[in-house]
Structure 1
Amino acid sequence: MPAPFDDHERMAIRERLVLSAIDALGRGGLGAASVSELARQAGIAKGSFYAFYPSKEYLFMEALERMEERYRSLFMAAPDFPGTAAERLAGMLLSALDMVENEPALRFIDGSAAERLSRALPPERIAEHAAGDAQAAEALLGSWKDKGLVRAGLRIEDLAGAMYVVFLVGSGLRGLPPSLRDATRRVCADGLAARLAAVPKAGHPQAASLPCGKPHDATRSEASV
């Protein structure tokens, strides 16, 4: 009987399994790999797979959560971009659009994939996922507000809506003619930035620095959006 995996081995195998699932997502979605294939890519026997996950769907949920973490990390980086609040948000939104457009693992994530996971996983696992999403969104919004990046009245629902819009638009960019793709990216980024960003008060140095007519000139009153 083979010896059980030690903690270091378990961590390494679990990471390989998650990476195998992410690779499978990029090759066709949830149905692109069997348990046998995922286990083989991770260097373990099929039977050993179940020492890590009760089912393939549990693994794919963790892989999707890994991708969500990467996606949210781009939003957390918004304060690091240069310029006004709106310009920093627009720069961050462009980077998020790039990830959605170019990350193979996101190409097959849609409503049917979410429905399949919801049917296959127990309610408590779905609830755990939803709670994690809510906690991450609250942390992101709190960070943005602490840095004066967004308007004071911005709600969690507004942030979630913006992230969903970026995902939908980014998914639709693939295959567009270059000029239409670039225009769509700019309209999406600048429009959302204008809706989210804190509006500088008259006479504030940030207001005076706005480049009139430039693509990132997205800081306007909410009534104009």
Structure 2
Amino acid sequence: MVLKYDLACRFPSDRNTLALDDQFLWGSALMISPVLAEGIIEREIYFPYDAWYDYYTGEPIEWIGDRMTVQAPADTIPLHIRGGHIIPTQGPAMNTLMSRQEPMGVIVAIGLNRKASGDLFWDDGESQDTVEKTTYSMVQYSFVQDKLTVAVNNTSGRLTGMKLSEFEFLGVELKPESILYNGGTIDSYTYDPATLKLTVNLDHNLITGLELKLNKIWYNTVVV
């Protein structure tokens, strides 16, 4: 279950988070910093000491453990991803049923220890008691030693036919020399040196799982 957390709950040793009442975490991975006054187009955000990335651009935040002013136009809520997490994504559509047919993606927000993990719970979106009846799928994502592994546990959650098409790796300082997809070299990727984001495009059946190995890459993070 996803819960809303005060930053002090996740960063109890950081005294700067105690007085923050206009920033919060959604689960462990997303920090939301809404604008609470009319006509404001920027706001100051405190970033606890950890790796953080702009959700919209993928660009890493340099001022960790400090405050930073960010742009907040009327159509955008400041949203940041905490390093060390992998977030499943899916494109929008006209309704929920159509949206569930859209290809899936993942955002790999590389942590200070150069690792990341996450999972996806998936059922038919309608039936009750899917956990008790085990009529669901659990997809587990793990990024360790420059390799992303996607493993599917229990395939009864209607994953058949679903595609995993886009992988965004955040915090990659230099373009990798090569990328291996289930052992074979691929060239369907782009790298943006301005945002340090690596994007890999595939046409993969999610139900089978996969491995993506990034060969000889560098990060903007420090191993801790």
Q: With CA pairs under 8 Å and 6+ residues apart, which has the higher RCO, 1 or 2? A: 1
- What TM-score, normalized by structure 1, do the two folds share? 0.24
**Structure holding more strand per residue:** 2
- What TM-score, normalized by structure 2, do the two folds share? 0.24
**Structure holding more helix per residue:** 1
Q: Which structure has the larger Rg?
A: 1
